[in-house]
Structure 1
Amino acid sequence: MRGGVNLSQILPLTVVLLVSAIPVALPSMFNISMAVGSLELSRKGVLVTRLSASEDAATMNVLCADKTGTLTKNRLSIAEIISLNGFKEDEVAIFGALASNEADKDPIDLAFLSYVKQTSNSLGEHKILEFTPFDPTTRMTQALVSLGGDEFRVYKGAVEAVLELCHSPPSERSEVERRVQTLTEKGYRVLAVARGAEGVGYTLAGIAALSDELREDSPRLVNELSELGVSVKMLTGDALPVAQEVARKLNLTGPVEKMSALRSRGDENEYAQIVEGFHSM
């Protein structure tokens, strides 16, 4: 220290003056500074795919984060099963597990299979003869099953689709829709399970409520981003009550907007859409 000025304060200023005096060095210095920023991010476990990512993140004021797998664990678990039409809860779980395929690593399939294992149930002598994975058109998965020489089909999927498959009467449909509404308001994702055979018809066996837990660090990170002046927007295709419950847990406030409206608002540079966390940087 000389004359009351610390040398560590003088050196950065000296470097700035030297770079300013040599304009040709400016691009190199920008690249170096961004590389240093990227290196610092990598030490924190962030995969940076382009140098300008750290600079873009620094100027961001709105962060659009996918709900499933980013704010939540994308690890579904069955929270509740409601059996119907004389079936037992264990049977509903088994039918749902039979209409699942562990090899596909689908979170919903894994939730049913895990539930059956955890409740000490077993698929026993059930033999899956044919499995049809989830079809976006029918919004269901199905399997042809053999048990003791008898064959039957099991279906698992969207409640509306399964109700239509079973040709449920208005009274049953109303009761199921009421229960589904109650569960979705609690933040659960609800699926229906049916059993039957071609030529005989299908019967609604029950409904299952699935939950996707928040990541442990999500509330803290959302709060920290808010303190930094970054507004967090949650993107999801789930039912509105489910999205609202997750938003409540994260203390996210503000109006609900359709994606088309979000894209059309303001300057495109105002938004930075980060899907599946920061790894798309």
Structure 2
Amino acid sequence: MRGGVNLAQILPLTVVLLVSAIPVALPSMFNISMAVGSLELSRKGVLVTRLSASEDAATMNVLCADKTGTLTKNRLSIAEIISLNGFKEDEVAIFGALASNEADKDPIDLAFLSYVKQTSNSLGEHKILEFTPFDPTTRMTQALVSLGGDEFRVYKGAVEAVLELCHSPPSERSEVERRVQTLTEKGYRVLAVARGAEGVGYTLAGIAALSDELREDSPRLVNELSELGVSVKMLTGDALPVAQEVARKLNLTGPVEKMSALRSRGDENEYAQIVEGFHSM
């Protein structure tokens, strides 16, 4: 005892105060801890939208990542053009560029416009009179073009949609589908280009193979996440062969399935086992 204060009497009271303060201070300590974690993540370039994000990430064991723009750069470039029906490769590129609008900042449109600028530097004397942006129903873009007093339309879009527009005969369809299959197996996204006029008909001018490069850090990131016990699942709306090629480059092992195929499975246990290893939907 010193100064009339008995330490043995004060110690139990101190313990009681500390114990009673824990429930009150605990939420504040959690918030402070998550704020410190979020601050540390922000210093590493991570955009934290809520405090609990760091805690959620710590318990994550599966990461579903969109292919386009997340695992890839979402900067398309034309890797190859195959001209058909007597058209030239530069004509196919110009028709595709005419059916594009730079102001929309669409990656596909920008790929055609950039290709034309690099190869011919201009669209010549073509004048775009009317432009119709991409329509999910028709799966094409189109433009009404004037050249030397003549008017015609150009279309750019999904190969199946353009083939249907051109009423392509079975022989041409088979040849185009064979070429498309070869290109998609290499990881390319393939579009078709057509030219024609209303009342006259449309002719398939050619097909273009577009590539979307992987982000430089994607393979390393997938590998690091795997080492941390996080399984990466790639989701994409692209063709199955494209998804398979990208998965191969990222060293993602396991099946690559269409979502429609997964949903057709009647057994929930079988469905879960397949999903455990899928890459693509």
Q: Does the TM-score normalized on the shorter chain lie above 0.5?
A: yes
Offset, 1:23: 2.5
1:23-70 Cα distance to aligned partner (Å, 9 max, x none): 321111111110000000111111111110000000000000000000
In structure 2, the CA distance between the partners of 1:178 and 1:29, relative to structure 1 (3 Å rule), is same
Structure 1 unaligned residues grouped into runs of 5+: none
Distance 2:63 2:40 in 1: 21
In structure 2, the CA distance between the partners of 1:96 and 1:6, relative to structure 1 (3 Å rule), is farther
Mapping 1:79-98, distance limit 5 Å = 79-98=79-98
Per the normalisation by structure 1, the TM-score is: 0.86
Contact 1:64 1:275 in 2 (8 A): no
In structure 2, the CA distance between the partners of 1:273 and 1:191, relative to structure 1 (3 Å rule), is farther
**Identity in percent:** 100
Distance 1:7 1:210 in 2: 80
1:86-125 Cα distance to aligned partner (Å, 9 max, x none): 0000000000000000000000000000000011342011
Distance 1:4 1:183 in 2: 91
Offset, 1:269: 17
Structure 2 unaligned residues grouped into runs of 5+: none
Offset, 1:6: 31
In structure 2, the CA distance between the partners of 1:28 and 1:121, relative to structure 1 (3 Å rule), is same
Offset, 1:130: 0.3
1:137-172 Cα distance to aligned partner (Å, 9 max, x none): 111000000000000000000000100111111111
In structure 2, the CA distance between the partners of 1:158 and 1:5, relative to structure 1 (3 Å rule), is farther
Q: Which moved more, 1:14-23 or 1:234-243?
A: 14-23
In structure 2, the CA distance between the partners of 1:243 and 1:3, relative to structure 1 (3 Å rule), is farther
Contact 1:66 1:275 in 2 (8 A): no
Q: Matched residue of 1:171: which SS?
A: helix
Per the normalisation by structure 2, the TM-score is: 0.86
Which residue number in structure 1 is paired with residue 27 of structure 2?
A: 27
1:1-39 Cα distance to aligned partner (Å, 9 max, x none): 999999999999999996897232111111111000000
Mapping 1:97-246, distance limit 5 Å = 97-246=97-246
Contact 1:159 1:191 in 2 (8 A): yes
Contact 1:65 1:276 in 2 (8 A): no
- RCO higher in structure (CA 8 A, sep ≥6): 1
Q: Matched residue of 2:171: which SS?
A: helix
**Structure 1 vs Structure 2 CA RMSD:** 7.2
Contact 1:65 1:277 in 2 (8 A): no
Contact 1:129 1:144 in 2 (8 A): yes
In structure 2, the CA distance between the partners of 1:10 and 1:140, relative to structure 1 (3 Å rule), is farther
Contact 1:19 1:26 in 2 (8 A): no
Larger radius of gyration: 2
In structure 2, the CA distance between the partners of 1:236 and 1:11, relative to structure 1 (3 Å rule), is farther
